[in-house]
Amino acid sequence: VQLQASGGGLVQAGGSLRLSCAASGGTIRNYGLGWFRQAPGKESTFVAFVSTLGWSGVWTEYADSVKGRFTISRDNAKNTMYLQMNSLEPEDTAIYHCAALQGGDSHSRHSYNLWGQGTLVTVSS
């Protein structure tokens, strides 16, 4: 399975963007999916996670810095994951990567075994 992120761009503070992560070469149905970001000169950090679809639906997790502003979702029929980002702040400027895992700590990049290339988000003040 290959992942490809898209949807990044330049936006003013307070604006919105929606990132997409499309999978090809297989299904993402059995993978938990996450977003990480890496700001200039900083290490990659966890942003959000969405679980596989269970009988009661999915659960989601967010970094404290994005709670209430970002929403992660998945559409298994389209083999795609999304990150809706609202009320963007200059501190959200980073390269955003999507990733997939099949177990482990969803907040640790080391748990993810599939990665897409990054998409750059730039938020101007």
pLDDT for 63? 98
pLDDT for 108? 96
Which one, of 81, 70, 74, lies nearest residue 121 by Cα? Answer: 70
Of all residues in the chain, what percent carry a pLDDT higher than 90? Answer: 95
pLDDT for 54? 86
pLDDT for 12? 98
Which whole number is the average pLDDT over 66-95? 98
Concatenate the DSSP letters of all residues of 44-97 into one string.
EEEEEEE---BTTB--EEE-TTTTTTEEEEEEGGGTEEEEEE-S--GGG-EEEE
Q: Taking all residues of the chain, what is their mean pLDDT, rounded to a whole number?
A: 96
pLDDT digits (tens, 9 = 90+) for 52-67: 988 888 999 999 999 9
